[in-house]
Amino acid sequence: MKQSVYISIITLFQLLLALTFQVVILRLFGMTEQLDMFFASNTVSFIFVAIASNSFNYALTPTLIKLKSKNKLIRLRRLVNSYINLFIIIFSIFALIQITYSEEIATVLFPGFIGDENTQLAHMLALQSIVAIFSILVGVLNAVNYTYNKLYRTAFLPLSSTILQFICVYLTHEYYGIYSLVIATAINQLFLLLTLSFGYYKFYLFKINFDKIFLYSIKRVLPLLFSSAFSKSDLLVNRYFASTLAAGAISSLHFGLLAISVLSTFVNKGISIVSLRYFSVTDSNESHNYFYNLCTIMLILASFFVINVILFSPTVFDFLLSGKSFTDEKLNMIYLVVVSLLGYLVGGILSSVIVNPLYTAGFTSVVSKVSISLQIIAIFCSVAFFKLYGFYALPIVMSLKSITNSMLLLFIYDRLIHKFDFYKLFIFLSRLIVIATSIVIFCDWLREYLNIFILILIVTIIYIYSFKDFIPYGNQKAIK
């Protein structure tokens, strides 16, 4: 697990850099209609990136690892080639449709932009459709690098690409305006595509092999492919409604989701991938203690982040974004969006552990059905709650869906993989909630008397002391 810690640290730097990049974007362009248009145009591409990271990393990687462990390298290369070629064809067709009907798509998906704004949004949608092809291929190549245990490459390269993206925007934003963000996004994904394929491109052939391995793997990948796309449809629904509101609504949703993603990906990236490899080669009975301990640790980490977000994010946002472009109202909007997404953080962190044994056991279709069913309910809830309660109902529904999804996945694990002690988990969660709530109340009172850095230190010390005896010492691999 030491490797997962190093990868998580590298990933944290990459995510902090990405967050810094977004802060710079907010300060350069402000929470304006222009920035809202860029994030709206980026929606489809963002969904493709989510598909790539979820479907291929968690469904395709176990199949590739098994082929490599049996030294079936030729079959492995054929399988990867088949996926690359298949998705080049499929998403090129999608891009062609999106380019041809970009104005119509912009009108339907984001009705709040009209006239010249709609035309400009349509241009960005067309450009982003090409970037989406790069993104989906990056997902396949990430799975290849995970298979060959080149985890540091998958951690360092996004860090480098983010720096390159930042430089591109800084050098071109005065001349190209908001289009500089689209250009920088394209350069980011193209850089990842070229560098992740290093060492593999010499084996590439434009051929799709419809053999037994491909047909078997496609049965595992396709359900997750569709469910991943569908699970992100709430992002599309949220931006649909946000486009009809005041300028900055889409930007605040995007920034809030990114801030939460920085925390969740920091926890998930290393631990999730390393645990996926562990579950791929370990018997379910042997890995159950590891699984329970890992769930416990994830909940402790999630709770720690929730405490810090509630207590300190207003001060952080005020420091990063205060200025002429940001009124107190807009800063408060970002804070409330982030707090509303805390359930999304907790559910996402827990789900990243629970899905791994399900994926490696071949239950991707079950996970997909749960995800699709929940998403249908969430869409109806988003529509209804938005009309009743307004803008903040959108991130709250995302949080409720994420927590519900993690609980349902845990029940599926209990039924299909190994019996789970829910009573023990309930007792642990009760103590966790009581301690976390007490820390928030106590430190909120201290906020009037102490500096923020001293407060963060106090929170950390109290938290570590409170939970030093909580982690069950049944499996040292998980504890590390």
pLDDT in tens, 81-137: 888 888 888 889 988 998 898 888 888 888 888 888 888 888 888 888 888 888 888
Angle between helices 328-340 and 249-281 (to 10 degrees): 30
Q: Count of domains in the chain?
A: 2
My answer on whether 163 and 269 are in the same domain is no
Q: Is residue 329 part of a domain?
A: yes
Report whether 106 contacts 113 (CB < 8 A). Answer: yes
My answer on whether 193 and 279 are in the same domain is no
My answer on whether 323 and 192 are in the same domain is no
Q: Which domain holds residue 380?
A: 248-480
In this prediction, residue 474 carries a pLDDT of 43
Report whether 395 contacts 340 (CB < 8 A). Answer: yes
Alpha helices in 282-416 (DSSP H): 284-321, 328-340, 342-360, 364-389, 393-416
Q: State residue 163 phi and psi, 5-degree precision.
A: -60, -45
In this prediction, residue 478 carries a pLDDT of 42
My answer on whether 72 and 197 are in the same domain is yes
Percent of the chain that is helix, strand, coil (3-state, to 5): 85, 0, 15
For residue 292, which amino acid is it?
Y
**Torsion from C-alpha of 120, 166, 54, 154, nearest 10 degrees:** 150
My answer on whether 216 and 263 are in the same domain is no
Domain boundary among 172, 203, 232: 232
My answer on whether 331 and 207 are in the same domain is no
Q: Is residue 342 part of a domain?
A: yes
Residues constituting the chain: 480
In this prediction, residue 58 carries a pLDDT of 62
Report whether 279 contacts 287 (CB < 8 A). Answer: yes
Rg of the chain, C-alpha, whole Å: 22
Name which of 54, 58, 468, 57 is nearest 297 in CA terms: 468
Query: pLDDT for 305-326, tens place per residue?
Result: 888 888 888 888 777 776 666 7
**Torsion from C-alpha of 196, 197, 200, 201, nearest 10 degrees:** -170
In this prediction, residue 323 carries a pLDDT of 63
H-helix or E-strand spanning residue 150 = none
Three-class secondary structure of residue 189 per DSSP: helix
My answer on whether 96 and 191 are in the same domain is yes
In this prediction, residue 400 carries a pLDDT of 92
Q: Give me 425's structure tokens.
A: 């988990």
My answer on whether 375 and 301 are in the same domain is yes
In this prediction, residue 439 carries a pLDDT of 86
In this prediction, residue 479 carries a pLDDT of 42
**Torsion from C-alpha of 405, 222, 275, 190, nearest 10 degrees:** -110
d(CA 456, CA 460): 6
Instruction: Tell me how far apart the terminal alpha carbons of the chain are, to the nearest angstrom.
Output: 6
d(CA 265, CA 207): 34
Q: Is residue 243 part of a domain?
A: no
CA 24 to the chain's CA centroid: 21
Q: Is residue 359 part of a domain?
A: yes
Name which of 293, 412, 423, 302 is nearest 357 in CA terms: 412
Domain boundary among 205, 232, 259: 232
Domain boundary among 181, 201, 232: 232
Q: Is residue 284 part of a domain?
A: yes
Q: How many CB atoms lie within 10 A of CB 187?
A: 18
Q: State residue 326 phi and psi, 5-degree precision.
A: -125, 110
CA 169 to the chain's CA centroid: 23
My answer on whether 261 and 123 are in the same domain is no
Report whether 10 contacts 156 (CB < 8 A). Answer: yes
Three-class secondary structure of residue 326 per DSSP: strand
Q: Following DSSP, what letter does each residue of 227-242 receive, concatenated?
A: HHHHHTHHHHHHHHHH
d(CA 357, CA 413): 8
My answer on whether 205 and 319 are in the same domain is no
Q: Is residue 226 part of a domain?
A: yes
Question: Within the chain, which residues score under 70 in pLDDT?
Answer: 1-9, 11-12, 48-59, 151, 223-225, 227-231, 266-286, 322-325, 469-480
Q: How many CB atoms lie within 10 A of CB 329?
A: 9
Q: Is residue 269 part of a domain?
A: yes
Q: Is residue 406 part of a domain?
A: yes
d(CA 148, CA 94): 31
My answer on whether 257 and 367 are in the same domain is yes
- The DSSP letter of residue 323 is B
In this prediction, residue 420 carries a pLDDT of 80
Q: Which residues contact 405 (CB under 8 A, 6 or more apart)?
A: 347, 351, 370, 371, 374
My answer on whether 192 and 167 are in the same domain is yes
